[in-house]
Amino acid sequence: MALKKKPVTGMKDIMPAEMEIRDYVIGLIKETYGTFGFSSMETPCVEHIENLCSKQGGDNEKLIFKILKRGEKLKLDQAKDEADLVDGGLRYDLTVPLSRYYSNHANELPSPFKALQMGNVWRADRPQRGRFRQFMQCDIDILGEPSNLAEIELILATTSLLGKLDFKNFTIRINDRRFLKAMAAYSGFEEKDYDSVFITLDKMDKIGMDGVAAELKENGYAEESVEKYLALFQEITGDVEGVRMCKEKLQGFLAPEAADSLEMIITSVESAKEAEFRMKFDPTLVRGMSYYTGTIFEISMDEFGGSVGGGGRYDKMIGKFTGQDTPAVGFSIGFERIVMLLMERGYQVPPRKEKKAFLIEKNMPQAGMLKVLSLAREERKAGKQVMIANMKKNKKFQKEQLAEQGYSEIVEVYRDSVESF
């Protein structure tokens, strides 16, 4: 069987130029979120299959890389269904593992707990631009804080990070699951149909208002309900006035405190923001995860043409582990998409250390080599990044490559001149 050079479909090798940007972004994430009081933590990449298939992850539960039982536990001849063969899977997000982590360690953690976690996740998805089957996620979550201070801090921290990476004029689209349910109830849809209605509504960006109307009618919903429902979206504006209109129009269906909370989040973030972006109330925003219970939000960037991050409140998830609900809200940035956009615009990592290279003549005597190693050691002590390499025949091309890698000083060292350094 011949060995294969290319990575598995949906995975990718990462070259040094991209790795430099990734390392820089990871460092900036830790630094920025650290200033907002978030603490780093980590969970295993393998999670119990029961946790991954708990009907919390929406369509992601169809994309799990499942892991067979091992050794004596794997009894192929006795297996009747998949549950007899599988006991674990690769995590498809970081929220489900975080909920298990918190339920296991709550007594050892501060309250509220402000968590920062970065790690790879896996989904057996169809690969496309900015989407891989293995990809890095970066999440911040606040557990144990019931007030909208949590949402405000998450949005400010995330947008502050994006501002430091020179992203401007992006949009934070925000909604609340309670608005979605109130609008559906007001229009005459039955509660059992909400999820189906929201799945269709979530396609608004792709198929438009007419497409949503046609699909809802095809699914058997009353024309009167459909028309009443879609009329709401034509009336609502994408600012706090739109929130206030919903509060007034949906009386009896929408709790006033839900509208007041959303308005406070929007106005507070607009007032305290450090980056250039806008907040937009978007009543069509659904978010696919069924575990969301309140506020939901997404980052939209015109240059990407889609979402590069999102999150929301999931107050019921931890209770599935502990039997007691815990307020929780999280925000995840699309790390891979952010890095891709930085690469496409030719982003240059700010120089942290001066880079110096010593190119030494081939067959350098031991004394000369020791001299160069000593010089390199002193330069590193002075805070420089130092590379030592043998000269190549095409020295001009070699020096051009080093310059592209950021080496601003390149010293050629020859046998007959090494002692002069």
Using CB atoms within 10 Å of the CB of residue 30, give its burial: 0 to 12 exposed, 13 to 18 middle, 19+ buried. middle
- Band the pLDDT of 408: cuts 50, 70, 90: confident
Cβ atoms of residues 154 and 165 within 8 Å:
no
pLDDT tens digit sequence for 331-390: 999 899 999 999 999 998 887 778 899 999 888 888 888 888 988 898 888 888 899 989
pLDDT for the residue 205? 83
Dihedral, 186, 190, 192, 198 alpha carbons, nearest 10: -50
pLDDT for the residue 289? 65
pLDDT for the residue 202? 87
pLDDT for the residue 406? 82
Three-state helix/strand/coil letters over 96-132? HHHHHHHHHHHHHCCCCEEEEEEEEEECCCCCECCEC
Dihedral, 389, 390, 391, 394 alpha carbons, nearest 10: -90
- Show Cβ contacts of residue 247 under 8 Å, excluding neighbours closer than 6 positions: 254, 256, 259, 260
Instruction: Centre a 10 Å sphere on the Cβ of residue 127 and count the other Cβ atoms it contains.
Output: 12
Question: Mean of the pLDDT values across residues 8-24?
Answer: 93
Distances (CA, A) of 208 to 33, 51, 223, 233, 406: 37, 36, 17, 12, 48
In this structure, what token pair is assigned to residue 309? 């991050």
Whether residue 261 is predicted with pLDDT greater than 70 in this model: the reply is: yes
In this structure, what token pair is assigned to residue 151? 């949402």
Kind and range of the H or E run holding 46: strand 46-48
Quote the CA–CA distance of 369 and 193 in Å, as a whole number: 76
Whether residue 232 is predicted with pLDDT greater than 70 in this model: the reply is: yes
Quote the CA–CA distance of 7 and 18 in Å, as a whole number: 17
Q: What number of CA atoms fall less than 13 Å from residue 348's CA on the CB side?
A: 6
Using CB atoms within 10 Å of the CB of residue 363, give its burial: 0 to 12 exposed, 13 to 18 middle, 19+ buried. exposed
Using CB atoms within 10 Å of the CB of residue 309, give its burial: 0 to 12 exposed, 13 to 18 middle, 19+ buried. buried
Alpha carbon 209 to its chain centroid, in Å, reads 29
Which tops the pLDDT comparison, 122 or 84?
Answer: 122
In this structure, what token pair is assigned to residue 343? 């690469």
pLDDT tens digit sequence for 131-178: 789 999 999 999 999 999 999 999 999 999 999 999 998 999 999 999
Instruction: Centre a 10 Å sphere on the Cβ of residue 325 and count the other Cβ atoms it contains.
Output: 14
pLDDT for the residue 47? 95
pLDDT > 70: percent of the chain: 99
Domains along the sequence of the chain with CATH: 16-344 (3.30.930.10), 355-420 (3.40.50)
Helix 335-344 and helix 16-35: axis angle, to 10°? 120
Question: Mean of the pLDDT values across residues 14-33?
Answer: 94
Q: Which string of DSSP letters, residue by residue, matches 156-218?
A: HHHHHHHHHTT--SEEEEEEEHHHHHHHHHHHT--GGGHHHHHHHHTTHHHHHHHHHHHHHHH
Whole-model pTM: value is 0.84
Q: In what order do the strands lie in the sheet with 355-360?
A: 385-390, 355-360, 407-413
322 bridge partner residues: none
- Helix/strand/coil for 407: strand
Among residues 308, 305, 169, 273, the alpha carbon closest in space to that of 297 is found at 308
pLDDT tens digit sequence for 287-316: 876 789 999 999 999 877 778 899 999 999
The CA R_g of the chain, rounded to the nearest whole Å, is 27
Cβ atoms of residues 258 and 252 within 8 Å:
no
